[in-house]
Chains A and B, each alone.
Chain A
Amino acid sequence: MESWLLKPNVAKALNAHGIDPGAEEIIKISAQYSLLMEHIELLLGETGSPDTPPAPGGQT
Chain B
Amino acid sequence: MSSGQADVTSQACSHLSGSDDAAERISAALARIEMLDSKINAFTALLPGRAAKEAAAQTRERQGSDSPIAGLGYAAKNLFDISGLTTLAGSATHEQNAFAKADAEAIARLSRAGAVLLGATNMDEFAYGFTTENACFGSTRNPHDLTRTAGGSSGGSAAAVAAGLVDFALGSDTNGSIRVPAGFCGIYGFKPTFGACDLRGVFPFIQSLDHIGPFARSAEVLEEVARVIADKPHTSLCLDADKVDGGLRVGILSGFFEKNRSLEVEAASEQLFSAFASAQRVALKDVGKMRSAAFLMTAMEGGRRHAGALRDSYDLLGPSTAVRLSAGLVLPDELKAKIGDVRRRFQEQVARVFEQFDILLAPSIPCTAPKLGQEMVMLGGREVPARASLGLMTQPLTPLGTPIVAAPIAAVSGLPIGIQIMGDIGRDATVLAFARHLEKRGLLASAAVPDLGKTP
Question: Do the beta carbons of B392 and A54 come within 8 Å of each other?
Answer: yes
Which residues of B are found within 8 Å of A45, using beta-carbon distances?
A: 289
User: Which chain A residues in 2-45 approach chain B with CB under 8 Å?
Assistant: 2, 4-5, 8, 10, 13-14, 17-19, 21, 25, 28-29, 32-33, 35-36, 39-40, 42-45
CA distance A13 to B328 in the complex (A): 11
Interface residues of B (CB under 8 A from A): 128-130, 175, 255-256, 259-260, 283-289, 291-293, 295-296, 298-299, 307, 310-311, 314, 320, 322-324, 326-332, 334-335, 338-339, 342, 345, 379-380, 382, 384-385, 387-392, 395
* Chain A to chain B: the 3 pairs with minimum beta-carbon distance, closest first: A52-B288, A57-B385, A32-B327
What is the minimal beta-carbon distance from A60 to any residue of chain B, in angstroms?
Answer: 5
Return 23 A-B CB contacts under 8 Å, by A number. Answer: A2-B334, A17-B307, A17-B329, A21-B310, A25-B326, A29-B327, A36-B295, A36-B328, A39-B296, A40-B292, A40-B296, A40-B335, A43-B296, A44-B338, A49-B286, A50-B284, A53-B288, A55-B295, A58-B388, A59-B129, A60-B295, A60-B388, A60-B390
**Does A19 lie within 8 Å of B326, measured CB to CB?**
yes
Report B-chain residues with C-beta under 8 Å of the C-beta of A54. 256, 259-260, 288, 379-380, 382, 384, 389, 392
Q: A32-B324, A47-B289, A54-B379 are in contact. Are A60 and B175 (CB under 8 A)?
A: yes
| Residue numbers in B under 8 Å from A19 (CB-CB) | 307, 310-311, 314, 326, 329
User: By the criterion CB–CB under 8 Å, are A50 and B391 in contact?
Assistant: no
Inter-subunit contact B330/A14 (CB<8 Å): yes
Least Cβ–Cβ distance between A7 and chain B, in angstroms: 10
**Given A50-B283, A54-B288, A55-B295: A17 and B310 interface contact (C-beta under 8 Å):** yes
- Taking CB atoms, residues of chain B closer than 8 Å to A59 are 129, 320, 324, 385, 387-388
Which residues of B sit under 8 angstroms from A53, Cβ to Cβ?
259, 288
Is the interface on chain A under 10, 10 to 19, 20 to 34, or 35 or more residues?
Answer: 35 or more
User: A44-B338, A50-B283, A59-B129 given as contacts; is B330 within 8 A of A10 (CB)?
Assistant: yes
B229 to chain A, nearest CB (A): 26
Q: How far is the CB of B421 from chain A (nearest CB, A)?
A: 22
Q: How far, in angstroms, from A40 to B390 measured CA to CA in the complex?
A: 20
Other than A43-B338, A49-B285, give 5 A-B pairs with Cβ distance below 8 A.
A10-B327, A48-B285, A50-B255, A54-B256, A58-B388
- Closest Cβ of chain A: how far from B9's Cβ, in Å? 37
Q: Which residues on A are within 8 Å of B, measured CB to CB?
A: 2, 4-5, 8, 10, 13-14, 17-19, 21, 25, 28-29, 32-33, 35-36, 39-40, 42-45, 47-60
Tell me the bound Cα distance from A21 to B382 in angstroms.
35
- CB of B393 to closest CB in A, whole Å: 11
Residues of A near B287 (CB, < 8 A) are: 50, 52
CB closest chain-B residue, reference A55? B292
Q: Is the CB of A14 within 8 A of B295?
A: no
Known: A14-B330, A47-B286, A59-B387. A21 touches B314 (CB 8 A): yes
Whether the Cβ atoms of A57 and B388 lie closer than 8 Å is: yes
Q: Flag if A42 contacts B332 (CB, 8 Å).
A: no
- B320 / chain A contacts, CB cutoff of 8 Å: 59
B255 — which chain A residues lie within 8 A by C-beta? Answer: 50-52
Instruction: Tell me, in angstroms, the Cα distance from A54 to B311 when the chains sit together.
Output: 33
Smallest beta-carbon distance A11→chain B, Å = 10
The contact of B289 among A8, A25, A28, A42, by CB within 8 Å, is A42
CA distance in complex: A58, B256 (Å): 19
B338 to chain A: which residues have CB within 8 Å? 43-44
Is A51 touching B327 in the complex (CB atoms < 8 A)?
no
Q: Which residue of A lies closest to B379 (CB)?
A: A54
B296 touches A36 (CB 8 A): yes
Compute how far the CA of A39 lies from the CA of B108 in the bound complex, rounded to whole angstroms. 40
Name the CB-closest residue of B to A8: B330
Which of A14, A48, A58 contacts B329 (CB under 8 A)? A14
Q: How distant is the Cα of A29 from the Cα of B320 in the complex, in angstroms?
A: 9
Smallest CB-CB separation from A17: which chain B residue? B307
Kindly state the separation between the CA atoms of A44 and B337 in the bound complex, as whole angstroms. Answer: 11
- Given contacts A36-B296, A40-B296, whether A17 and B311 have CB atoms under 8 Å apart is yes
